[in-house]
Structure 1
Amino acid sequence: MAIPIQPDANGKTPVTQSLQDSTAIIQVIERAALNPEVDIDKMERLLQMQERVLDRQALMAYSAAMAAMQTELPSIAERGQGNNGAYATLEDIVDTVRPIMQKHGFAVSFRIQTQERGIQVTGVLMHQDGHREETSMLLPADTSGSKNAVQAFGSSTSYGKRYVLCALLNITTRGQDDNGQAAAPVKLVTSFQAGQLRQLITVCPAATQEWFVGKYGEAEQVPRSDFDKLRASLQKRARPDRQHH
């Protein structure tokens, strides 16, 4: 639970004082902008400073609102029932947190991207003053229970939204949420395995390197389940004249 920010003897919190200081800086910049004697280079530097100040203001407002909001966010009851036990449904989570988020100036949105390695769910938590934070989760399609492709996509997407939203808001559910085991996050290769793949890919033809980047991006993003087959494939494609003996 977040600790409330306490005001000083004058009734001001550190956030309030800093916002007032930032506002004073912006006022100085605005006055300079009206002065025809201020040269263009100096004006550009002042505008860059103003942008940094505004970003800092937005971050501080976000942090203060988040601290206040977290004191009101409850633990969500696990009322959903799945093959692996009880879990908090996305609907229950959203219905519970939405009015509290609105009260403190927050909103959330999601981006869903289908990749070769699975479904990536990204949650974006936005504050009314402009700052935002986001987090992502990569999931395989949940094909448990003889789901078709559409059902598998929907199951993994819902699972990802639940966990991403809980992560962004730092909220918990009552009990252990085991639902979605079939859609558990993809386990990636270890750092040692990633190093092996990097060494192999550097001695492969350019076409193979382009294919690797297009499919995985970088060695650290290779699913652990792909490692053995991928390593064997790269070893076959590696150019003998560039391999280290």
Structure 2
Amino acid sequence: MSTALDIQEPQNRAVAPRPAAESDNPVVSILSRLVMDPSLPVERAEKVFAMYYEAQDRARLQAREDAAIAARNAYFAAMSACQKELPVVTRNQRNTHTKSNYADLAAIEEQAMPIIHAHGFGVTFQPCGYNELGELQIKWQISHSGGHVESDIAGIPVDGAGAKGTVNKTGTQAFGSTATYGRRYLLCMLFNISTGDDNDGNAIANGRAGDGPISEEQVRELQRLIEEVGAWTPKFCEVYDIEAIPDLPASRFDHAVQNLRTYGHRNHQTGGQDR
């Protein structure tokens, strides 16, 4: 019995087609013929190939730019649709020091994150050291399923003391409290999430119900004014029935600025005795 292997090539084997880039691209076909032409000077051939590769690079760059623009447009379209569906989150906690209500992180995530995720967004927060003001820096990032990403770093004042300025937390507790507060504040700010009390007539009268918090720039403006006029942050929060400066409703920002300026003028006249 023969042990020889049958190595004949099958007669009906399909021939793999050449890639479209090689068989259908007219520029590649022309370049291939030029390379085979012995009369073509080497220098000219090099220039032709250089022009071709430059054109390819430009095309790839343009494609990336077009894709980035499309992803950015999809991001903002989704953000707009998302914000239309986000509810006013109920303030479910009470701050006994400032005697104000607030929505904790769990309530905000429970009511807002399903909608945020449904529109293709992912949100991350990453502590990244402290800045020159001693604030905890938190890097936030919002990514969208379309490929666009927005990110920045925000400075959050460390929460290590009570309403009277007395230290009431260990370093670890202060870090955890500040990080949690930063996530809560940033999530509301970035997605324009409002918080409100159930059936709170006073909140409506004061312009707080359905009213989003002030921006990060406005927070810094108020912090600058408070320091400039010699005011006291806990007292400011007590006056406006908020837990912290970033909780101030946007509709009350102008009023707060005017109050601080009036306070500063009066404090200057009394020699700093009006605190």
Q: What's the TM-score, normalizing by structure 2? A: 0.50
Contact 1:134 1:168 in 2 (8 A): no
Counterpart in the other structure of 1:12: none
Rounded to whole Å, the distance in 2 between the matches of 1:60 and 1:31 is 31
More deviation in 82-91 or 50-59?
82-91
Counterpart in the other structure of 2:138: 121
Rounded to whole Å, the distance in 1 between the matches of 2:101 and 2:153 is 24
Contact 1:109 1:125 in 2 (8 A): yes
**Bigger Rg over Cα:** 2
Rounded to whole Å, the distance in 1 between the matches of 2:152 and 2:65 is 23
Counterpart in the other structure of 2:62: 49
Matches within 5 A, 1:164-243: 164-174=186-196, 187=223
TM-superposition CA deviations, 1:180-211 (whole Å, max 9, x none): xxxx869469xxxxxxxxxxxxxxxxxxxxxx
RMSD of aligned residue pairs (Cα, Å): 2.9
Q: State the SS of the aligned residue for 2:179.
A: helix
Counterpart in the other structure of 2:232: none
Counterpart in the other structure of 1:90: 105
Contact 1:75 1:171 in 2 (8 A): yes
When residues 135 and 93 of structure 1 are mapped into structure 2, their CA distance, relative to the original with a 3 A threshold, is farther
Gaps of 5+ in 1: 1-29, 179-183, 190-245
Counterpart in the other structure of 1:78: 91
Q: Which amino acid aligns with 2:109?
A: V
Give the paired residue count: 155
Rounded to whole Å, the distance in 2 between the matches of 1:101 and 1:170 is 12
Q: State the SS of the aligned residue for 1:63.
A: helix
Contact 1:65 1:105 in 2 (8 A): yes
Q: State the SS of the aligned residue for 1:66.
A: helix
Q: State the SS of the aligned residue for 2:194.
A: coil
Note the C-alpha offset of 1:167. 1.4
Rounded to whole Å, the distance in 1 between the matches of 2:172 and 2:154 is 19
Q: State the SS of the aligned residue for 1:130.
A: coil
Q: Which amino acid aligns with 1:112?
A: P
TM-superposition CA deviations, 1:71-124 (whole Å, max 9, x none): 110111111222222111111111111211121111101121122522012221
Gaps of 5+ in 2: 1-19, 32-50, 163-167, 197-202, 214-218, 226-275
**Identity within the alignment, %:** 30
Counterpart in the other structure of 1:16: none
Contact 1:59 1:131 in 2 (8 A): yes
Q: Which has the higher contact order (CA 8 A, sep 6+)?
A: 1
Q: Which amino acid aligns with 2:81?
A: A
Note the C-alpha offset of 1:50. 0.6
Matches within 5 A, 1:17-166: 36=28, 37=31, 39-82=52-95, 83-84=97-98, 85-116=100-131, 117-145=134-162, 146-166=168-188
Note the C-alpha offset of 1:31. 7.5
Q: What's the TM-score, normalizing by structure 1? A: 0.56
Counterpart in the other structure of 1:238: none
Rounded to whole Å, the distance in 2 between the matches of 1:140 and 1:68 is 32
